[in-house]
Structure 1
Amino acid sequence: MSFTNPPSPLAPAVYLVGAGPGDPDLLTVKAQRLIAQADVVVVANSLVPPAILAGVRPDAEVVRTANQTLETIVPLMIDRVRAGRSVVRLQSGDPSLYSAIHEQIEALVAADIPFEVVPGISAFQAAAAHLGVELTVPGGVQTIILTRIGGRTQVPEPEALATLAAHQASLCLYLSARHVTTAQAQLLTHYPPDTPVAVCYRLGWPDERVVVVPLSEMAQVTAAEDLIRTTLYVISPALKAIGGRSRLYHPEHDHLFRPQQP
């Protein structure tokens, strides 16, 4: 991103920025601006591709955290802000989903460090765009569930995958490729075997792969492609032709800006 005039310096703070699924073109304008202005960029480099860092200032400090824990990452950010520097913490996708910002925010608040959260595009949105579909189709499905299966991080019992599958909604399954056989079995307790599933690997990265298969083949395809991480599954009736039309633009639907014609 280029600026006609030099940008104003960022206030010393931690900016928790969603880097999107991987495509630099899907960064928000605000994210681009913050990356271009930051004194320090702390990046989850195992999940954020190098191309996202193209706009970083040449003199900025770049800290890659793939091999670090929060016990080293958070004190570093606190130290840099107390030294009067601005810190961008680049998180993959959107910070509101599976990003571990909750514990970072708690530590920043305890240390009296100002912070700001900047949203990003999530993988499920990039998947729908790639597939050219809407995940909420009138007469077919009107709910989207974002979830994961329990692994080393357990999910609460009321959120068990088989329980959520009962809704037969558009279900977007994160962080579950290592447990895909179990996930498939639980989904099949409610979804028909021919329900379409988009298996999405490294969305937005140069080696992105997306394939749509029946639910009954989800585990088989995952194993055949050796997909053990950075994989999203979108299980949805909306991935096949189910008809339906929104009332919003229907000629019989009147509202404030389109009163009913006599």
Structure 2
Amino acid sequence: MSDQTPPVRPRRGETPSRASLRTAVVWEVLRDALDRRAKATGRDALDVLDTGGGSGNFAVPAARLGHRVTVVDPSPNALFALERRAAEAGVADRVRGVQGDVHGLFDVVERGGFDAVLFHGVLEYVEDPAEGVRNAVEALRPGGALSLLAAGLGGAVLARALAGHFTEARRALGDPAGRWGEGDPTPRRFTAEQLTQLVGDSGLEIASVHGVRVFADLVPGVLVDTEPGALEALLKLEEAAAESPAFHAVATQLHVLGEKRG
């Protein structure tokens, strides 16, 4: 694990990185949601909860924007890395890490105390996805936003097929959890329809749905690394395809932004 928080989106004039390909679409949606919430409340500093936020890939950039971020994660090692990264970024006073998980969320954080909740890469691993989403929503203040990022079923099927693992691709396609076999490290995958239903059933309004890593995981690295400007062009392609429902079915991840009625 790197000691530096990878960029969520390259700044203007910067060369994009592989890390920015994985996070740029989500960060743009999240940053816009935080900006809207700040304007609506008249508060520059919002309270953000990052469930399963690990070492701070989103928490630290959000704190750099001036927000107060609480990270809940079951791993002491991840929280230690978070503390170090926040200190290196000069935002230690705005980032707090607590050990816990989404099922016991209100043992460690306040119910209804946050303007935004990040629920990234967690839903795949919880025993009861509906309960996990409900808890995340209950942590929101009225008018707050839920940023939900989870593994996409179609992206996994396509990746296995393109790798020549046709039987595994077919198994994932028909498996209720979207798993391609016993060796699959991801316990559960989702379609866009499943995620929007989970968010909608929790009482939130669906603000947007985006496909994440539609092409980035499929393009051979040698093409991106050797062609001048290829990484920037791929990033722009990812951003252009992210909003198109036609590409949601083949995205490696799916991002849903839900908003709680005020």
Shorter-chain TM range is: 0.3 to 0.5
TM-score by length of 1: 0.34
TM-score by length of 2: 0.34
Structure label with greater radius of gyration: 1
Bigger helix share: 2
